[in-house]
């Protein structure tokens, strides 16, 4: 089978032929149809992601495909089932074996492309806004990086949860994508002052930040009393430093969110969230935004789209039927 194989953090992964893996205890073997790319893939290339597997490994964190073999001890799945899996690795290949406990069956109306774009982006935003920040109807939600893979889903879910959504991104095209996802107000981070714009809008009750850096600082200063700030990631490359006395004065909360971390200590948070998200998708209330679909031999080009911020929403690698 063809697979994107990483053997060193000092050199790029290579598309190579590898033996087809056999499912072990508790695993499903999938014929992979699509794999979603994530910012975390860029960190894995350098070994700086918190859950980077030991070398060597096949890249690709979230996949969708068809069950073609079932390992010992697995129940509830049959050959031919269409599923999505957050495996953390192994997705950029024609075949992969994954923990059956992480697999979810796809609704009939969900395509493999949508499924590969779904779990991490929507899961991150839903768990962050619902489980962590307890976003309430009528509150003002400020989403930074609002045209990115997780940012667009935060706009969409925030609006679905009844919030007034302010989307912050760079450039008219990206802001248009956020507007189409449901944003009520738009801020161009390349030309407008985030703090000043939010002041005119009455401040932010919840801030969703996958960016960090200067945007975090400006957004932080726009918080209303008892505001909640969700730290999702640091796409800017700069981890912000928080002055604790500012938290005290406004009674603010800073909430970290690492979606995959719940697998280790509270997996029901994720499974319950995905059940809700799949139901919303089946009802036509969620619409995954995929700006690029590329073949497996262009997977590195897809990662470059993420690195250069030339994509909106998700980039998906199409692998099989």
pLDDT surpassing 90 at residue 180: yes
**Predicted confidence (pLDDT) per residue in 281-304, tens digit:** 999 999 999 999 999 999 999 999
| Summary mean pLDDT of the chain | 94
User: For residue 284, what pLDDT is reported?
Assistant: 92
Question: Among candidates 219, 174, 177, 226, which has minimal Cα distance to 201?
Answer: 219
Where does the pLDDT of residue 309 fall: very low under 50, low under 70, confident under 90, or very high at 90 and above? confident
User: For residue 243, what pLDDT is reported?
Assistant: 86
User: For residue 50, what pLDDT is reported?
Assistant: 87
**Predicted confidence (pLDDT) per residue in 45-86, tens digit:** 999 998 899 999 999 999 999 999 999 999 999 999 999 999
pLDDT surpassing 90 at residue 263: no
**Predicted confidence (pLDDT) per residue in 216-238, tens digit:** 999 999 999 999 999 999 988 89
**Predicted confidence (pLDDT) per residue in 82-135, tens digit:** 999 999 999 999 999 999 988 999 988 899 999 999 999 999 999 999 999 999
Domains of the chain: 2-118+288-318 (3.90.180.10), 122-259 (3.40.50.720)
Mean pLDDT for the stretch of residues 138-167 = 96
User: For residue 268, what pLDDT is reported?
Assistant: 87
* pTM higher than the cut 0.85: yes
pLDDT surpassing 80 at residue 321: no
């Amino acid at each position: 089978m063809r697979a994107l194989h990483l053997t060193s953090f000092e050199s790029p992964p290579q598309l190579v032929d590898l033996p087809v893996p056999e499912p072990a205890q508790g695993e499903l073997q999938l014929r992979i149809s699509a794999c979603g790319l994530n910012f975390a893939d860029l960190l894995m290339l350098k070994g700086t992601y918190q859950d980077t597997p030991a070398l060597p490994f096949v890249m690709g964190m979230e996949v969708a495909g068809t069950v073609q073999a079932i390992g010992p001890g697995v129940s509830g799945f049959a050959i031919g089932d269409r599923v999505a899996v957050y495996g953390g690795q192994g997705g950029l290949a024609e075949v992969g074996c994954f923990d059956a406990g992480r697999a979810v069956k796809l609704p009939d109306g969900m395509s493999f492309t949508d499924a590969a774009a779904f779990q991490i982006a929507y899961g991150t935003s839903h768990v962050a806004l619902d489980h962590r920040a307890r976003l309430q109807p009528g509150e003002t939600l400020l989403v930074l990086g609002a045209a990115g893979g997780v940012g667009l889903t935060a706009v969409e879910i925030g609006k679905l949860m009844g919030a007034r959504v302010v989307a912050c991104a760079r450039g008219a095209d990206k802001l248009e994508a956020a507007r189409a996802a449901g944003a009520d107000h738009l801020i161009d981070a390349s030309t407008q002052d985030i703090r000043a714009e939010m002041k005119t809008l009455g401040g932010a009750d919840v801030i969703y930040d996958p960016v960090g850096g200067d945007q975090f600082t400006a957004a932080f200063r726009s918080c209303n009393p008892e505001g909640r700030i969700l730290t999702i990631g640091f796409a800017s490359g700069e981890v912000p430093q928080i002055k604790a006395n500012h938290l005290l004065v406004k009674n603010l909360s800073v909430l970290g969110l690492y979606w995959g971390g719940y697998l280790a200590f509270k997996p029901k948070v994720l499974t319950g969230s995905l059940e809700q998200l799949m139901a919303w998708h089946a009802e036509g209330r969620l619409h995954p935004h995929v700006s690029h679909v590329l073949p497996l031999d262009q997977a590195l080009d897809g990662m470059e789209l993420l690195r250069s911020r030339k994509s909106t929403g998700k980039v998906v690698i199409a692998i099989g039927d």
